[in-house]
Amino acid sequence: MGTLKLTSWNVEHLDRLTQNNLSATQKKRRDAVVAEVRALDPDFLCVLEGPKGEAAIDRVADGLLGGDWVAVKADDGKYATLGTQWIWFLVRRQLADRASLLPVATWDAFTRPRWPCCFWGEFEERNHQHYRHPQVLVVDWDGLRVEFVGLHLKSKFVNQGQSMWNAGGERRQQFIREALTARIKMTTEATNVREYVDAKFRQVENPAIFVLGDLNDGPGKEWLEDRFLFFDLISNVQGDIFAASRYLNHALFDFPDHLRWSVFFKDFVEPERDPHILLDHIMFTQGLVNGSLPWQIESRAGKVEHEIHDLINAPLPSSAKTSDHKPVSVAIKTAD
């Protein structure tokens, strides 16, 4: 049997490292990112906060990484992604001929390109759509179709609300309203992802699907859930336990509790909350663990890459750290 490694990593504004005329600190950070990717040595790497556009990701794959990993691009050049933080898949060069990117139009045909959304306590319907459209890597492994759904669900309100919260009174109420609105939008995006997974189960009895990436509910996660009956992104994506055959397993469910975190973020809404938070995830369908598919994930196969990340970053000043997120990986056994 062979082993493949799948890694998801939010590289924190990777686009800034693809520019010309980098400062000495930026060059140090760029070199550290390259060293971390090489130390991780993934077969499939999902990059979050990747650069905008094909030319920029080529500067990462071909320039920084020397062509050892190939950026998988859309045949039609369409990614349906706004902003400067894009989702990309880098595939080890030896495996690149097995990989392609699902057309955005196919995803939208199986789900919806946009959908009605009602904000808290309102009946007026507003249209919403993905800010960063999910990107789906498709791998043909000797007839086995494997799909990797790359996600970056994040509230644009994460870094804009602390002063409003601290001000109290009407400003705090405004923050709560806007944070709730952001949560509603993201939850509908997560539901759209779940619609895609469910659509695959209507096409294939036992699909091989991974869902991975950065799922960031935003500040005050539990506080908002306790008071306003909101549930988190991960629960919406994983599915309904009463439809167990379509429920997604999590790569870190048997990883040690004290190591199951990927970011150190202090929550200004709940400062007593443990700042060690798991925002980066890899999930997969049941067929990948129950012996019914040629690819299998065994127990203890998933991990947060603390050691590699910390060893690379230990000698660096804070301004040159590779990322505020740690990579998450899972090992996959193949039949060949």
Q: Which residues have a Cβ under 8 Å from the Cβ of 7 and sit 6 or more positions away? A: 40, 42, 44, 45, 46, 305, 327, 328, 329
Two tokens, residue 11 = 């590289």
Total domains in the fold of the chain = 1
Assess contact for 11 and 48: CB atoms under 8 A. Answer: yes
Contact between 192 and 107 (Cβ < 8 Å): no
In this predicted model, which residue has the larger pLDDT, 51 or 227?
51
Alpha-carbon distance 334 to 116, whole Å? 41
pLDDT for residue 158 = 56
Residue range 211-240: average pLDDT?
90
Burial class (CB in 10 A: 0-12, 13-18, 19+), 272: exposed
Q: What is the mean pLDDT of residues 245-255?
A: 96
pLDDT, residue 162, reads 86
Residues 6+ apart with CB under 8 A from 319: 25, 29
Instruction: For the chain, give the percent of residues with pLDDT over 70.
Output: 98
Mean pLDDT value across the chain:
94
What pLDDT, on the 0 to 100 scale, is given for residue 103?
Answer: 98
316: containing domain = 2-334
Q: Mean pLDDT across the stretch 211-221?
A: 93
- C-alpha distances (whole Å) from 173 to each of 19, 119, 159, 250 are 40, 15, 17, 35
- Which residues have C-beta within 8 Å of that of residue 121, sequence separation ≥ 6? none
Distance from C-alpha of 54 to C-alpha of 75, rounded to nearest angstrom: 11
Task: Tell me the one-letter amino acid at 72.
Answer: V
- Percentage of the residues of the chain whose pLDDT score is greater than 90: 79
1 has a pLDDT exceeding 80: no
**Mean pLDDT (whole number) for 105-119:** 95
Q: What is the torsional sign of CA 122, 128, 133, 138?
A: positive
Spatial distance between the Cα atoms of 55 and 10, rounded to a whole number of angstroms = 19
Q: Tens of pLDDT along 266-294?
A: 999 999 999 999 999 999 999 999 999 99
CATH code for the domain in which residue 150 is found: 3.60.10.10
Q: Is pLDDT at 203 greater than 60 in this prediction?
A: yes
Select the more confidently predicted residue: 119 or 306: 306
Q: Say how many CA atoms lie within 13 Å of 25 toward its Cβ.
A: 7
Among 87-96, 158-167, 170-179, 193-202, whose mean pLDDT is lowest?
A: 158-167
Task: In whole angstroms, give the CA distance from residue 218 to residue 153.
Answer: 10
Query: If pLDDT is split at 50, 70 and 90, which confidence band does 247 have?
Result: very high
**Interval 45-73: pLDDT, tens:** 999 999 999 999 999 999 999 999 999 99
| CA–CA gap between residue 150 and residue 328 (Å, rounded) | 13
Confidence of residue 156 (pLDDT cuts 50, 70, 90): low
Q: Looking at the predicted structure, is the pLDDT value of residue 155 above 80?
A: no
Query: pTM for the whole thing?
Result: 0.95
Confidence of residue 230 (pLDDT cuts 50, 70, 90): confident
